[in-house]
């Protein structure tokens, strides 16, 4: 991992969930704040009405363009 990426500013937070063991992560929402992203995770259900079994919030960082 590039250590410089930790210094890049966070521009958004992505809420992801799994609806069963071993299933793929599904992106539910993208929020401007970590608190909103976490709140969103607890109110989303899949089309069959299942609640998420696992939830995670990932930060989206701004990576400036590198000059060539």
Residue bearing tokens 């089309």: 47
Per-residue pLDDT at 66: 63
Element (H, E) at 26: strand 26-31
Task: Say whether pLDDT at 5 is over 60.
Answer: no
Per-residue pLDDT at 45: 67
Residue 67 confidence class, pLDDT cut points 50, 70, 90: low
Per-residue pLDDT at 24: 92
Question: Averaged over 46-64, what is the pLDDT?
Answer: 80
Q: For residue range 8-47, list pLDDT tens digits in order.
A: 788 889 888 888 889 999 888 888 888 887 777 677 666 7
Residue 58, judged by CB atoms within 10 A of its CB (0-12, 13-18, 19+), counts as middle
């Amino acid at each position: 991992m590039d250590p410089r990426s930790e210094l890049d500013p966070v521009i958004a937070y992505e809420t992801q969930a799994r609806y069963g063991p071993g299933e793929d992560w599904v992106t539910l929402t993208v929020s401007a704040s970590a608190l909103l992203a976490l709140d969103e995770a607890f109110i989303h259900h899949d089309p069959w009405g299942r609640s998420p079994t696992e939830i995670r919030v990932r930060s989206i960082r701004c990576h400036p363009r590198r000059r060539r």
